[in-house]
Structure 1
Amino acid sequence: MASYSIGDVADKCGINPVTLRAWQRRYGLLKPLRSEGGHRQFDEADIQRIEEIQRWIKSGISVSKVKAILDTNQGAVDKGWITQQEELITILRCVRPDDLRFKIVEYSQQFDAATLIDHVYIPVRQRLGFEQNTVRNICGLLDGALIEYVANQLILSRKRKGKPALLISWDDPDRTRLWLEAWRLSTQGWHIDLLAEPVELPRPEFFPGHHIFVWAGKLITSRQKEQLEYWHEQGYSIFHHNPDLTS
């Protein structure tokens, strides 16, 4: 089995060795072996974990929260979610839109929306997004199929008892994720309408009397938090949608 020094890993993953040491010592994210001389030795599994950590941080997750996510994801792998992820990726690689739509419907009959979003669709989109050329491009095929399915689910949800709400993307460019979060909210008793385009700053005064959710990613900036508090003081019913709290 190949082993790598901390310098090798730093070069391979494009990361500072100081950061790798902090991930190990401060956050417990890495557990490299030690050589007889006491030097860190990393293997391929360590490198894959480092790349996964980098993906989560790039998606907006703070490093202090990554370990809990990785531990949860490992549980998901143990429960077989990797099977569903690989099934979708295989269908996408073969460019089979009808099979893709069928598989999305099939999964929805087996699992709830929040589970699929968190353990299948988001991980698959992340994996495709970090690959190159053709594989990255076919992520658009998955996005199109997901938006098509979610749009139908939002229509069906309005036939059930629920409360109206508006979902707005606050300066987050990922439109597909916005649709997925609309689906998640629709399963929690909301009749969701959404603004399909992200806005730099929501204007709740344009929607008087509406309950508004804003999606800015799982994390919001201190500026956004202050703005939300201001709107609340003004009497607007506007809230940051955090799936970690609502799932």
Structure 2
Amino acid sequence: MAFYSIGEVAERCGINPVTLRAWQRRYGLFKPQRSEGGHRQFDETDIQRIEEIKRWIQSGVPVGKVKSLLDENHPVEHDDWASQQEELMVVLRHARPAKLRAAIMAAGRQHPADAVIDRLILPVRQRLRLDQNTARAICSMLDGVLIDYAVTALAEARKKASKEALLIGWDCDDRTRLWLEAWRLSQQGWNIDVLAEPLDSPRPELFPGQRIFVWTGTALSLRQQEQLTHWQEQGFDIVSHGVLRLV
């Protein structure tokens, strides 16, 4: 079983380590194992739980009430996603883009976008990055298929969605994740256009009258929080998508 440090989990989940420690100490939302040196060690079940915590908080549930909601879930669901991750890893090892595309499409038909992204795709991408024996070409192949699928999903969503918005990557370098987040937003009723190249600083004045989502990939820094507030005070319809601020 693979274990991850708090820094690796923070990067993977887009949450500041300070927030993770607060969730554990203050609210008892999870209990990672400890190494002989006393360092936290997270496994896949811990990471799945953290993703669930994020979803509850992003849906408006106060963090103090999340634990009771989590305790109502059944562990079988975690086992099912773990098995699907293993199946996708097998497909990847065969390096067949057509089969990989079919597997992603099947998952997208069977489950909501949030679940596919958080419980299948992101864990598999993280495992590929941590596996030093995995060819870089395999990771690139997966990302290519994911972007292709996300583009198709966005096109389908445009036939139904009436709310238009622009998604901009802000000081981040994971372009594939940007397209996955666009797919996630499209399943929430948005007609999403993507600024494919992340920017050091978005310029909302270039897109007057548009709703803008910014994706940072990590918790907003103090500078980013202040800049976002400044833009909003100027009247721009700009919000941070999917990344939690510090507790």
Q: Normalising by structure 2, what TM-score?
A: 0.74
The answer on whether the counterparts of 1:76 and 1:119 sit within 8 Å (CA) in structure 2 is: no
CA distance in 2, matches of 1:76, 1:114: 18
The answer on whether the counterparts of 1:76 and 1:82 sit within 8 Å (CA) in structure 2 is: no
CA distance in 1, matches of 2:76, 2:142: 21
1:191 lines up with 2:166 in the alignment:
no
CA distance in 1, matches of 2:218, 2:115: 16
Amino acid at match of 2:177: R
Higher mean displacement: 187-196 or 61-70: 61-70
Measured at CA, do residues 157 and 243 of structure 1 come closer, stay the same or move farther in structure 2, by a change above 3 Å?
farther
Q: CA offsets per residue over residues 127-157 of structure 1, 9 Å max, x none? A: 1011114444311111000100110110110
Q: Secondary structure at the match of 1:193?
A: strand
* Stretches (4+) displaced over 4 A: 66-70, 74-77
Which residue number in structure 2 is paired with residue 3 of structure 1? none
Uncovered stretches (5+) of structure 1, i.e. residues with no partner: 1-44
The answer on whether the counterparts of 1:100 and 1:145 sit within 8 Å (CA) in structure 2 is: yes
CA distance in 1, matches of 2:114, 2:244: 10
Measured at CA, do residues 58 and 164 of structure 1 come closer, stay the same or move farther in structure 2, by a change above 3 Å?
closer
Uncovered stretches (5+) of structure 2, i.e. residues with no partner: 31-44, 50-74
CA distance in 2, matches of 1:122, 1:130: 12
Q: Secondary structure at the match of 1:138?
A: helix
Structure 2 residue aligned with 1:65, among 20, 26, 39? 20
Amino acid at match of 2:8: R
The answer on whether the counterparts of 1:218 and 1:242 sit within 8 Å (CA) in structure 2 is: no
Which residue number in structure 2 is paired with residue 15 of structure 1? none
Which residue number in structure 1 is paired with residue 240 of structure 2? 240
Which residue number in structure 1 is paired with residue 92 of structure 2? 92
Give the CA deviation at 1:53: 3.4
Structure with the greater alpha carbon radius of gyration? 1
Alignment of structure 1 residues 69-80 onto 2, 5 Å: 71=46, 73=48, 75=75, 78-80=78-80
Amino acid at match of 1:61: I
Q: Secondary structure at the match of 2:150?
A: helix
The answer on whether the counterparts of 1:113 and 1:184 sit within 8 Å (CA) in structure 2 is: yes
Amino acid at match of 2:125: R
Amino acid at match of 1:202: P
Q: Secondary structure at the match of 2:200?
A: coil
Which has the higher relative contact order, 1 or 2, with Cα contacts under 8 A spaced 6 or more apart?
2
The answer on whether the counterparts of 1:130 and 1:136 sit within 8 Å (CA) in structure 2 is: no
Give the CA deviation at 1:65: 1.9
CA distance in 2, matches of 1:206, 1:110: 39
Higher mean displacement: 198-207 or 235-244: 235-244
Give the CA deviation at 1:89: 1.0
Alignment of structure 1 residues 1-247 onto 2, 5 Å: 48-49=2-3, 51=4, 53-59=6-12, 60-63=14-17, 64-65=19-20, 68=29, 71=46, 73=48, 75=75, 78-242=78-242
Give the CA deviation at 1:87: 1.1
